[in-house]
Amino acid sequence: MTSTDGSESPTAGMTNRPREPRPVQGLRRFTRAETWVHRTLNVLMAVCVFTAACLYFPPLAEMVGRRRLVVMVHEWSGIALPVPIVAGLVSRAFRADAGRLGRFFPHDWKWLGVAVRRRRREASLAGKFNAGQKLFSAFTVGAVLVMIGTGLIMWFPRLSPLLWRTGATFVHDWLALLIAAAITGHVWFATSDPEARRGLRTGYVPRWWAGSEHPLWQPEQPSDQDPSAAPPPAPAPPGARPGPRA
């Protein structure tokens, strides 16, 4: 195929055309480091839950087979659970959000009181994270540490007495059921809030969602706000002279 001077093939035009970045609208809720920490934890936790189900339910065990391999994957995925959290501490935004999740304020206790008495969530008492999310995070961190400790006792049975191994097995099994129930509730609440899920995927949430679901959240830094979401300046009227520069 030949081309004359000044002409360009459609393929060349498509390959040479620069891609414009897709604008993001809303408030910056999570940084890229925080989203990757959450995704990595999701994958590791899903592997732990699935392999545990294969070990405890005979139909799944027969379907999957290779029990020794399943045990090894379960052990190493459980040991790796703290790794994303420790790696995320490099991010200043992750450390700041971890501090928010670890502190309870007066409005958090009021949120819990409304949730217990009226069986509903009070959005007007929520900061960047509501009290339910803080409790779930605290339970998850504590449960992971206990599961790792009891799992190590079960992994190396010769290093501990029989009484410890029996207690570790009991705690490990029953805490696994509590974790499965907590994850089920967490996923259930997440399915009812698509904007929260979008915030975890993209890092941005709409301003109306932040105002209605987390009205006490006040982004501290300008980087938390998306510049593209700000309205453009109004055009000057015809014939008007530009004002002095600051």
Residue 228 in domain: no
Residue 235 in domain: no
Residue 83 in domain: yes
Q: Which own/partner pairs from 101-108 qualify as long-range (CB within 8 Å, at least 24 positions apart)? A: 101/129, 101/133, 101/134, 101/137, 101/138, 102/134, 102/137, 102/138, 104/131, 104/134, 107/216, 108/134
Residue 104 in domain: yes
What is the chain's mean pLDDT, rounded? 80
Residue 121 in domain: yes
* CATH number, position 64: 1.20.950.20
Query: CA 120, 125, 128: angle at the middle one, nearest 5?
Result: 110
Q: Distance between CA 100 and CA 127 in Å, rounded?
A: 9
Q: Distance between CA 132 and CA 126 in Å, rounded?
A: 10
Residues near 180 by Cβ (< 8 Å), separated by ≥ 6? 49
Neighbours of 132 (CB within 10 A): 17
pLDDT tens string 166-205: 999 999 999 999 999 999 988 888 888 899 888 888 889 9
Residue 200 in domain: yes
Residue 94 in domain: yes
Closest CA relative to residue 219, chosen from 240, 199, 197: 199
The first and second tokens of residue 176, run together, are 């696994």
Is the CA virtual torsion 132, 134, 139, 144 positive or negative?
Answer: positive
Whether the predicted pLDDT of 241 surpasses 60:
no
Residue 223 in domain: no
Average pLDDT over residues 104-120: 87
Q: Distance between CA 37 and CA 98 in Å, rounded?
A: 12
Whether the predicted pLDDT of 48 surpasses 90:
yes
Least reliable range by pLDDT among 8-17, 173-182, 193-202, 207-216: 8-17
Tally of structural domains, the chain: 1
Least reliable range by pLDDT among 34-43, 113-122, 191-200: 113-122
Res 211: pLDDT:
87
pLDDT tens string 81-94: 999 999 999 999 99
Range of the domain at 88: 29-217
